[in-house]
Amino acid sequence: MDISPLQEARYAYAPKLPGALGTDPASVAVELGEPTEAVADRDELKALFKATYGKPIARFVPGKANVGSRRPLKVGVILSGGQAPGGHNVIAGLFDGLKRLNDGSTLIGFKGGPSGLVDDKAVEIDAKLLAGYRNTGGFDMIGSGRTKIETSEQFAASLATARKRGLDAVVVVGGDDSNTNAALLAEYFVKEGAPVAVVGVPKTIDGDLKNEYVETSFGFDTATKTYAELVGNIERDAASARKYWHFIKLMGRSASHIALEVALQTRPNVALISEEIEAKSMTIAQVVEELVRSIVARAEKGMNFGVVLVPEGLVEFVPEFKALIASLNELLAREAAAFGALADDAARLEFVRSRLPADSAPLYASLPADIRSQLAMDRDPHGNVQVSRIETEKLLVALVERRLKELSKEGRYPGRFSALAHFFGYEGRCAFPSNFDADYCYSLGHSAALLAANGLTGYLSSVRGLEKPAREWVAGGIPLTMMMNLERRHGERKPVIRKALVELDGAPFKAFAAARGAWAVETAYRFPGAIQYYGPAEVCDRPTETLLLEKAR
């Protein structure tokens, strides 16, 4: 295969490991703390996770190996959900960790996500296969998928696969939902008397799988650095051409961690943070006013250009928009047959317009035509509005344009407004992992191997102290039940790992809020440039601003 020089060089990169893991596995001891409790709903969770609730936190420390098996192990690995840079390095760390414990150990990769375990679709991962993926982005070595193991048949089929293949452990690399699934699988295996440990690994570019014990999910570092490079480049272009306002939507599903981190790295004129908009119960008109204030102030200084960051999940956090989406979902579920029988798009739009409840109809009518179509027509297989497909960046451009015209007529806007809309998402999910993610993921994989060897089931592989150099990182495992609570999902109370949204009293948001007033009016852009893989540690190994600010507390 003709590979790029960087790909070639990255194959040879040796990821850094925490000091305690970097020695002979015979000198890695596991230290177990006190029994733990869930973040909430303890009694109900205790009843649901009778076998795995309340385990102690595990930590790997230098010492004489006290528990743990040195016999050959057979471990299966699953990549679950959206791609995140570093997935291949988790597999590499797991593979090398298992081989160091016993060269006869084997690693099986289940193909296409959790369904690979249910349907027993797998490939053996050997050194040769792995060599073509070390330190590279993507999940293409074994693929990923979004199947949830939910039904009793799926649980039974997963167990059958594990038994048939003689697995000692299954490692699930995923986000909050996939790791909730891992906890349920761990509990099920124990209940069925199967000695198969289930270990999770925290993955998602969205950065919303974090808490007191998980400092960051992997992939967030590389994805935000990739977006920050692009945003910085656009800022420089905007400041050079001085004729466009760029509205940039950034991936991240519900939480605004990505938008906030990219804002901290690039200092745009405006960055909207969904969690703040919801907390202030802002209307879409108020959001538009905030943008217009910056545009007018800059126009008054002769700067008819700027950069706005928009988080992917914004509309769901604007209360009136959330209500509109709920009404649309309900209306189209109730009248699915009549809606489906309509002849054309014009009829469908009229159907929706005339049937929406009085509190949602005016907002719907006020939206630009293409957004109205997206809301009515672009639906997921369950019939719900595909919120992540709504072109919020274009919606805001249209609404801002409308408002500026009004202001211009009133003589309150002296500028020219020409806007371009962008969406950055998939561009960041499969980048070559930054050194941080390459090292972090390799360490998470190594730690997962040790958790498996110690038969520690129902744990999330954990590496902490990430603001320090890798040698000082501390590896171990956090009981999954410790991060859980019960939430209503599809009308039922279900155990889930709490999704972390941006905290408005957290250090990253506070740092942003303290500076944004000046950014809105001045041109204070910051240009992070491309991710650097080779060079001084302060350029190549620096974690995200979010992590540094959170750890500085």
Q: Which residues are catalytic?
A: 206
Q: Backbone dihedral region of 338: left (phi > 0), alpha (psi from -120 to 50 degrees) or beta?
A: alpha
Tokens 């039940």 sit at which residue?
481
Look at strands 106-110 and 122-125 and give their pairing: antiparallel
d(CA 443, CA 170): 17
CB of 65 to ligand FBP, least distance (A): 34
Tokens representing 107? 């690693």
CB of 175 to ligand FBP, least distance (A): 4
DSSP assignment string, 427-493 = HHHTSPPPHHHHHHHHHHHHHHHHHHHTT--SEEEEEE-TTS-GGG-EEEEEEGGGGEEEEEETTEE
Distances 545 to 50, 87, 230, 306, 424 between C-alpha atoms, Å? 40, 22, 17, 23, 19
In sequence order, what are the beta bridge partners of 495? 486
Q: Which of 219, 174, 192, 190 lies closest to 460, judged by CA?
A: 174
Q: Are 325 and 385 in contact (CB under 8 A)?
A: yes
CB of 261 to ligand FBP, least distance (A): 13
Crossing angle of helices 220-241 and 435-453, in 10° steps, is 170
CB of 117 to ligand FBP, least distance (A): 17
The amino acid present at 120, given as its one-letter code, is D
Tokens representing 159? 């167990």
Residues composing the chain: 553
**Nearer CB in complex with ligand FBP: 178/360:** 178
d(CA 109, CA 197): 16
d(CA 503, CA 517): 19
CB of 312 to ligand FBP, least distance (A): 6
**Nearer CB in complex with ligand FBP: 269/461:** 461
Q: Are 309 and 259 in contact (CB under 8 A)?
A: yes
d(CA 149, CA 146): 10
In degrees to the nearest 10, what's the CA dihedral of 56, 61, 67, 69? 110
**Nearer CB in complex with ligand FBP: 225/253:** 253
d(CA 255, CA 260): 10
Tokens representing 361? 């109809």
Name, in order, each residue with C-beta under 8 angstroms of 501's C-beta and a sequence gap of 6 or more.
Answer: 208, 254, 255, 256, 275
170's enclosing H/E stretch is: strand 169-174
Q: Which residues bind ligand FBP (CB under 6 A)?
A: 81-82, 84, 175, 204-206, 251-253, 312, 388, 429
CB of 355 to ligand FBP, least distance (A): 29
**Nearer CB in complex with ligand FBP: 138/252:** 252
The amino acid present at 114, given as its one-letter code, is P
SS3 category, 504: coil
Angle made by CA atoms 369, 370, 372, in degrees to the nearest 5: 65
CB of 477 to ligand FBP, least distance (A): 21
As a whole number of Å, the end-to-end CA separation of the chain is 48
Q: Are 473 and 18 in contact (CB under 8 A)?
A: yes
